[in-house]
Amino acid sequence: MAEEVIRLDRIVRNFQVGTEVVRALRSISVSIARNEFVALMGPSGSGKSTLMNILGCLDTPTSGHYFLNRNDVSQMNDNELAEIRNKEIGFIFQTFNLLPRSTALENVILPLIYAGYKKHERMERAEKVLGDVQLADRMLHKPNELSGGQRQRVAIARALVNHPSIILADEPTGNLDSKTSAEIMTLLEDIHKLGNTIIVVTHEEDIAQHAHRIIRLIDGEVESDKLNEDIRTMEDYRKK
């Protein structure tokens, strides 16, 4: 059996809104093995964004436990969570979240500065991952000099540069056209083949179909958790 990288044990997340308690997550228990490619799906209000924030150590549960590499991160303080985010989680956002005045290379180097790597190692690692995402010739370009797809590739390189335990992609194709979306998802497939654990949060069925396992949420609960028997690849787009 594959090594477990994530285990959620009866995760509950409540929010106080005025006098009302909103139950965003209702006892979620899920395990994800190393090198899985998982899509987390659900309509607006299903709890998927709340769950993503907990998986990304951006929020903590009201009750329950979240184990990342067997460490109970649900009990950590803000400083410990920040360290886990930097070392263990690679984030890919819908809006790219790149620094506009910095080059692609400088954007990718940033997490390594926080992690305390020496300058020569930062350069070496950043240049390598930019090459891996086919941006070796765009390293010194700023975001406004890049296409949407290229900007997302920079964001993916930044997510990879620390060799994180998991890649967490939040609606990674939300600002891209269908052709570029297919290219980005194919790139994520390639990254998965290299041994990375990938979790894609999406409401789009086409995007979820690239994953090997699909977890669907509804009203803060897991509605279904199934292996994907019809995985979509770049070849499917070429046939259209």
In one-letter notation, the amino acid at residue 17 is V
Q: pLDDT confidence of 159, banded at 50, 70, 90?
A: very high
pLDDT at 41 over 80: yes
Tens-digit pLDDT profile for residues 65-86: 999 999 999 889 999 999 899 8
pLDDT at 94 over 90: no
> Token pair 């994180």 is at which residue?
164
Helix, strand, coil tally for the chain in percent (to 5) = 40, 30, 30
The answer to whether 53 and 40 have CB atoms below 8 angstroms apart is no
The answer to whether 108 and 114 have CB atoms below 8 angstroms apart is no
Tens-digit pLDDT profile for residues 139-152: 999 999 999 999 99
Q: Quick one: which of 61, 6, 66, 48 has its CA closest to 221?
A: 48
Burial of 81 (0-12, 13-18, 19+ CB in 10 A): middle
Please state the pTM of the whole predicted model: 0.90
What region does 15 belong to: left with phi over 0, alpha with psi -120 to 50, or beta? beta
Mean pLDDT of the chain: 91
Q: Which CATH architecture has domain 36-62+77-238?
A: 3-Layer(aba) Sandwich (3.40)
Q: Where are the domains of the chain?
A: 36-62+77-238
Q: pLDDT confidence of 236, banded at 50, 70, 90?
A: low
pLDDT at 218 over 70: yes
**pLDDT (average), residues 88-110:** 92
Cα 40 from Cα 48, distance rounded (Å): 7
> Token pair 């335990």 is at which residue?
165
Cα 168 from Cα 171, distance rounded (Å): 10
Cβ-Cβ contacts under 8 Å for 148 (sequence gap 6 or more): 175, 176, 177, 180
- pLDDT score of 96: 86
**pLDDT (average), residues 13-20:** 93
